[in-house]
Amino acid sequence: MKLLFSVAFISLIVQSLLASDVLEFTDANFDSRIGAHDIALVEFYAPWCGHCKRLAPEYEKAAPILKANDPPVALVKVDCTAETKVCAKYGVSGYPTLKIFKNGEMSSDYNGPREADGIVKYMRTKAGPVSKELNTVEEAEKFLANNDHSIVGFFKSASGSLATEFKKVADQLAENYRFAHSSNPDVLAKYSFEEYA
């Protein structure tokens, strides 16, 4: 009995050591599983690809760090030699191809570093809201005092369709511009907000 317990215990330890924080999605579950993550970096790969083999250990190192991030960032992989439908859907033609997904939708191509520390730093900048919410006139003035190229959206409702579309555009263009938005009545009055039909 002790031998059986020892074998089971050792097997459990080996499985936990071999467990990966990189999630593997398939054609059958990609759409349902990707939506469960606020933000995810997806590697579309081929097992025979040399660049993919070099990326794999770095991706594995970055995964537990980003999983513990606030907000968490999921690292996902899809084997394009087996999962052809999802790879075709996202236009994958070379390996590895990395894409950032937010709330289940493809947000942008990943053009960042390919080593663990660089992946972590880059994805931390993509996690959380890209557009800063301006809750006071002082915050708005401070944001606009910066000389960097900036885009500010003024909305009657922060949850309206225009505000939602603005945030999607911010996600796609965040590498080129700073984004902020406000629906605070004082900020709207300061900048002469008028609602357009």
User: Maximum Cα–Cα distance for the chain, whole Å?
Assistant: 79
Would you state the structure tokens that stand for residue 62, as one six-digit string?
């970055």
CA distance 42 to 109: 10
pLDDT, mean of residues 36-44: 96
pLDDT-derived band at 11 (thresholds 50, 70, 90) equals very low
pLDDT-derived band at 7 (thresholds 50, 70, 90) equals very low
* Whether pLDDT at 40 is above 60: yes
* Whether pLDDT at 89 is above 50: yes
Same fold, 2-126 and 131-190: yes
pLDDT-derived band at 13 (thresholds 50, 70, 90) equals very low
Return the CATH number of 131-190, one of 3.40.30.10, 2.30.130.10, 1.10.3720.10, 3.40.1710.10: 3.40.30.10
Set 35, 37, 49, 160: catalytic member: 49
Whether the Cβ atoms of residue 62 and residue 41 lie closer than 8 Å to each other: no
pLDDT at 147: 78
80 is catalytic: no
The domains of the chain are located at 2-126, 131-190
pLDDT at 135: 93
pLDDT-derived band at 16 (thresholds 50, 70, 90) equals very low
CA distance 48 to 112: 23
Set 52, 80, 87, 112: catalytic member: 52
Write out the CATH class of domain 2-126.
Answer: alpha beta
49 is catalytic: yes
The residue to which tokens 């080129």 are assigned = 176
Set 35, 51, 128, 160: catalytic member: 51
* Amino acid present at 124: R
Quote the mean pLDDT of the chain.
87
pLDDT, mean of residues 44-56: 97
Residue range 90-135, pLDDT digits in tens: 999 999 999 999 989 998 999 999 999 999 988 988 887 778 899 9
87 is catalytic: no
For residue 22, the Cα-to-chain-centroid distance in whole angstroms is: 14
Residue range 120-177, pLDDT digits in tens: 988 988 887 778 899 999 999 998 888 778 899 999 988 888 988 998 888 778 777 8
pLDDT at 110: 94
- pLDDT above 90 covers a percentage of the chain that reads 60
Scanning the chain, the segments in alpha helix (DSSP H) are: 2-18, 30-34, 50-67, 84-89, 116-126, 137-145, 161-173, 185-190
Residue 103's SS3 state is: coil
* Amino acid present at 30: F
The residue to which tokens 């236009």 are assigned = 91
